[in-house]
């Protein structure tokens, strides 16, 4: 007759204790933010960094788009029509597209943050 292996007993906290800890939301990000803990501060800083990145990207494109205009206007001082054409028509479409991208990006950042905080 072969010796049988001894069964190992695995214990843990009672199921009711696990449910109450999960239900209380002690480890949820929303609680961390409300209590202003270090982890909550990290979550908020993460959102702020992503919003700042989007703003800096828009600013860089805006500088590249509008920055050279004085040089263009200085190169052609007598062409009043060129100035009106550039300022009136060629500049607005990229500005509108840039603004739409920025708004969509910031809304997506906020949606992602809310999903993270609400544990969805």
Chain segment 9-42, per-residue pLDDT in tens: 777 666 655 444 445 544 576 666 766 777 778 8
Mean of all residue pLDDT scores within the chain: 81
- What mean pLDDT comes out for the span 89-107? 93
Q: Structurally, how many domains does the chain consist of?
A: 1
Domain-located, residue 6: no
Domain-located, residue 35: yes
Domain-located, residue 9: no
Report field, pTM of the whole predicted structure over 0.75? no
The contacts found for 111-120 with CB under 8 angstroms, 24 or more apart, are 113/43, 113/46, 113/47, 116/29, 116/43, 117/28, 117/29, 117/30, 117/33, 117/43, 118/30, 119/28, 119/29
Domain-located, residue 8: no
Residues 6+ apart with CB under 8 A from 34: 40
Domain-located, residue 33: yes
Domain-located, residue 100: yes
Structural domain boundaries enclosing 23:
15-117
Domain-located, residue 41: yes
Domain-located, residue 31: yes
């Amino acid at each position: 007759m072969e010796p049988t292996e001894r069964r190992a007993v695995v214990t843990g906290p009672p199921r009711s204790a696990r449910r109450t800890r999960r239900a209380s939301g002690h480890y949820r990000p929303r609680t961390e933010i409300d209590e202003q803990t270090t982890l909550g501060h990290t979550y908020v800083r993460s959102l702020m960094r992503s919003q700042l990145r989007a703003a800096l990207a828009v600013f860089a494109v805006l500088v590249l788009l509008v920055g050279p205009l004085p040089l263009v206007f200085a190169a052609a001082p007598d062409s009043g029509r060129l100035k009106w054409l550039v300022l009136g028509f060629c500049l607005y479409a990229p500005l509108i597209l840039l603004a739409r991208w920025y708004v969509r990006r910031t809304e997506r950042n906020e949606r992602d943050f809310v999903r993270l905080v609400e544990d969805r």
